[in-house]
Amino acid sequence: MSVYNIAGINVEYDCHYPLLFERSEKYRVSGNAQPEFRLSLTQEYFELKRQRSPNSTDDIFEYMGMGTQFYKALLSKQGMMLHASAVAVDSQAYLFSAPSGTGKSTHTQQWQKLFGEDKAIIINDDKPAMRKIDGIYYAFGTPFSGKHDISVNKGFPIKGICFVSRGETNSIERLSAERALAPLFDQTVRPAENDKMDLLCDRVDDILKCVPFYHIICNISTEAAELSYRTMSGGNYENKSSV
């Protein structure tokens, strides 16, 4: 088995198929690193997946299954997964979450148009890991990054989390913890195991206390990106552009 450092955690698992192997390579740890936990998939898992999805492949099953295993294990390390596109500007992470097809990736692409790809870094375009370290929540890239495999092996303090809705005009508002609770649960993995569900509930409760949440209604424009940056960062784009 190989060891990979994901979200600041040494994780050991085997890659039997190309998809997981290729996406894990930038997270591989050289030397004799000691894993904090080990992940594995059973033959029963593959057999069940083949029965349920006969048109898919073991390559896909391994990639998805290992991602699920990792995010369940992350719960024991003060972390959780969020279905989101995470972008970093000035070493601060901004996460945009929504159901697939809503436009979260399109929105973070507008951040890259606004600031440039060298200043607006996509941390993970589909399933960033969020983890509390020394009292601060960070967003991390992981190998489990959706169909386009856009991620970096880095972590950045989370400045804010924003739920995205599509609209003709742009508006954004700060959410209370009560209003953020349901969409946050909707956009993460809810484990079937009772002990892991308890850990998830504890993590959700804590992150709602520690991180600002927002809701944006936006079109596809750099103006929408500027609005979300200005609101969530407390700064403004004009000052940024002159740095």
What residues pair up with 89 in beta bridges, in sequence order?
92, 120
The pLDDT score that the predictor gives to residue 214 is: 97
The pLDDT score that the predictor gives to residue 243 is: 30
The pLDDT score that the predictor gives to residue 147 is: 77
The pLDDT score that the predictor gives to residue 236 is: 56
Q: Which CATH number fits domain 82-241: 3.90.228.20, 3.30.2320.50, 1.20.1250.20, 3.40.190.10?
A: 3.90.228.20
Query: Domain segments of the chain: what residues?
Result: 2-77, 82-241
The two structure tokens encoding residue 22: 């290729």
Whole-angstrom distance, CA of residue 85 vs CA of residue 149: 12
pLDDT tens for the chain, 243 residues: list them: 899 999 999 999 999 999 999 999 999 998 888 999 999 999 999 999 999 999 999 999 999 999 999 999 999 999 999 999 999 999 999 999 988 888 889 999 999 999 999 999 999 999 999 999 999 999 999 999 877 788 999 999 999 999 999 999 999 999 999 999 999 999 998 889 999 999 999 999 999 999 999 999 999 899 999 999 999 998 655 544 333
**pTM strictly above 0.85:** yes
Residue reference for tokens 């997946």: 49
The pLDDT score that the predictor gives to residue 36 is: 94
| Widest Cα–Cα separation across the chain | 58
Rounded (to 5) percent helix, strand, coil in the chain: 40, 30, 35
The two structure tokens encoding residue 23: 């996406």
Nearest C-alpha neighbor of 127 from the set 160, 79, 76: 79
The pLDDT score that the predictor gives to residue 241 is: 38
